[in-house]
Amino acid sequence: MSNKIEEKKYGAENITVLEGLEPVRKRPGMYIGDVGQKGLNHLVYEILDNSVDEHLAGYCNHIAVIIEKNGSCTVIDDGRGIPVDLHKSGLPAVRVVLTTLHAGGKFDNETYKTSGGLHGVGSSVVNALSEYMSVEVSRDGNIYKDTYERGKPTTKLVKGKLPVVGKSKHTGTRINFSPDPEIFTHTKFKIDWIKSRLHETCYLNPNLHIHFEDLTAKTPEIIDYCEPEGLIAFIKELNKGKKTVTKEITFKGTVDKTEVDVAIQFIDAFEENILGFCNNIYTQEGGTHLVGFKTKFTQLLNSYARQLGNLKEKDENFTGPDTRNGMTAIVAIKYPDPLFEGQTKTKLASQDVTKQVAQVVGEQLERYFDRNVEDVKAMINQAEKSAKIRKAEEKAKTNLLSKSKFSFDSNGKLANCISKDASECEIFIVEGDSAGGSAKNCRNRNTQAILPLRGKILNVEKASMDKVLANAEIKTMINTFGCGFSEGYGNDFDISKLRYDKIILMTDADVDGSHIDTLLLTFLYRFMPDLINEGHVYVSMPPLYAAITKGKPNDKEYLYDEKALIDYKKKHKDGTYEIKRFKGLGEMDPTELWETTLNPENRVLKRVEIEDARVASKVTEMLMGSEVGERRDFIYEHANEAVLDW
């Protein structure tokens, strides 16, 4: 028997060239991040950003975003309209834009001085990932129309030109698209995310009007957004209901064609909320503009603290987090040629922006500080509170984390896995000893760890830091995960030390289980947000029922929700089966628990993701915080959407 590996022919014929928009349909995640809810909503933002770019260029004041009854999306603007004359390729320019990657007006600095859509792939990517798209362009007194199916044109050209379907005294573009169900896991847009994005866009562009309609709702929702106060209104909204300790501080400046617009206000709370934008794009992961802002602010506040005598000669400077304790800030820049990390533009990487932002912040804030000493004193007071608590808690952190050198299971109930390779390991956070015992008996001991919790953990949204660090269950999780935590006054978190690739919340499929999931997610979101951001947190979906064929106890089908139960009953005759209702994981025998919830081949997991950090933070605070009124209003408004477990 030959030991040679069979040689496979590899030549020019094996090289595949994907034409047109084929690469997008083949690898959609490269262009929109994923094919779940986040990627789906990103389609709306790509088309919206093109209309906003027309506003930035000075040609568009009104945009309409409509979610149609059939679930498609329509975006209309009163800009110049995408060009329809013949391109040098021999096609109408609008067709070139919608069918060719890296084609558009954003590469011409004369057409768009600043733009959020700089890669030239936005509209064409949306076209490629849509089951259907139509575009109507109003220019030169006419309305021109083109249509596409999965990125391919379906409108016949008339002597190389688009057909004229009407007359118009106005200019603008109307695009309607329907996401392709062959690409996306589902095609229903997340309306709250869209509304948040539209409102935010108006805060950043005080002269822009955006009209929104959701026609899929039982009662159509219609909202008009316009924020003439700009960032001041944005700051007021972010701090609504909170005790403020300074006025709203706003200033602008321009350095080397980079426009910097900043708003700051301090509140009486131990938190920091800084939002960064570049050309209207929210940079969720921050970037060089925020580095410039934070660095200069910390330098200035330390300088004034020494001038005013709060810091003596021998005192160490306040840390960056100290100086930003209680800060709400928005840093919005308009930059001619930004460099982002990734197509979805979550982090700004342009290096020269750091110095440009720092220069504007230094000049403008120093002028403000000289004229508003009381506000400066209030900021320094916040920093002093932070520094005092930070120093006290550094000792508590040291005591907490040092225990993990010898044993990282403080309650003695962790059933760890054998493997030390984090990439193949997973840990199940289990509700109670009963379910924990079953899980320990049926797990894969090589790669699966089980950590039972004693009931419901502390609600960290309401608790002080000393109570959080004193909580036995929370200390156990921090030590078990191995990567530390970050919150408020510093950052000991190091994701490279994470011991498990998957952290899976495994609770009963009832109200108590959902409450425990919510408490755990609140803890992870506030203290270890990178675990969620980098896709390490999951929620298990145990079945609600088992349908067992009468007389055949091994002929069993697991049903994960009420709809599955209804569908099963429709397909099977009464009397031929029995339905077993699982009231909790502890009632499952080890075999059932393995088959349904632990076995990677069969189980159903939901990965926890955050699309909009601002919305997530606000909802977390509202649902889990101390203020009852806003939570009550939310429950009244969304009561009909609740899923009840009878």
CA atoms of 526 and 336, how far apart (whole Å): 35
CA atoms of 245 and 496, how far apart (whole Å): 38
Helix (H, G, I), strand (E, B) or coil at 157: coil
Pick the catalytic residue from 510, 567, 578, 589: 510
Q: Across-strand partners of 178?
A: 132
What are the tokens at 547? Answer: 């349908």
**Which DSSP string do the residues of 410-450 spell out, in sequence order?**
TTS--B--S---GGG-EEEEEEHHHHHHHHHHHS-TTTEEE
What are the tokens at 420? Answer: 């030390």
| Residue 512 annotated as catalytic | yes
**Which DSSP string do the residues of 71-130 spell out, in sequence order?**
S-EEEEE-SS----SBPTTSSBHHHHHHHSTT-SGGG-TTT-SS-S--SS-HHHHHHHTE
Count Cβ neighbours within 10 Å for each residue of 114-128 and write b for 16 or more, e otherwise.
Answer: bbbbbbbbbbbbbbb
Beta strands 209-214 and 221-225 are antiparallel
CA atoms of 72 and 70, how far apart (whole Å): 6
Question: Which of 506, 590, 582, 589 shows the shortest CA–CA distance to 541?
Answer: 506
CA atoms of 462 and 623, how far apart (whole Å): 11
Count Cβ neighbours within 10 Å for each residue of 612-643 and write b for 16 or more, e otherwise.
Answer: bbebbbbebbbebeeeeeeeeeeeeeeeeeee
SS (H, E, C) 314-369: CCCCCCHHHHCCCEEEEEEEECCCCCECCCCCCCECCCHHHHHHHHHHHHHHHHHH
The phi and psi torsions of 230 (rounded to 5 degrees) equal: 65, -130
Question: Which of 82, 85, 96 shows the shortest CA–CA distance to 161?
Answer: 85
Question: Which of 461, 454, 439, 366 shows the shortest CA–CA distance to 585?
Answer: 439
| Residue 352 annotated as catalytic | no
User: How wide is the angle at C-alpha 611 spanned by C-alphas 605 and 616, nearest 5°?
Assistant: 95
Pick the catalytic residue from 508, 517, 595, 621: 508
Pick the catalytic residue from 272, 431, 592, 595: 431
Residue position matching structure tokens 């590469």: 107
Do 91 and 142 meet the contact criterion of CB atoms below 8 Å apart? no
Cβ contacts of 429 within 8 Å, gap of 6 or more = 451, 453, 477, 503, 504, 505, 506, 520
Do 54 and 75 meet the contact criterion of CB atoms below 8 Å apart? no
| Residue 508 annotated as catalytic | yes
| Residue 461 annotated as catalytic | no
Burial of 133 (0-12, 13-18, 19+ CB in 10 A): buried
Pick the catalytic residue from 352, 409, 501, 512: 512
Q: How far out from the chain centre does Cα 9 lie?
A: 45
Cβ contacts of 171 within 8 Å, gap of 6 or more = 78, 79, 80, 81, 138, 139
The phi and psi torsions of 90 (rounded to 5 degrees) equal: 95, 0
Handedness of CA 307, 310, 312, 318 (dihedral sign): negative
Residues noted as catalytic: 431, 508, 510, 512
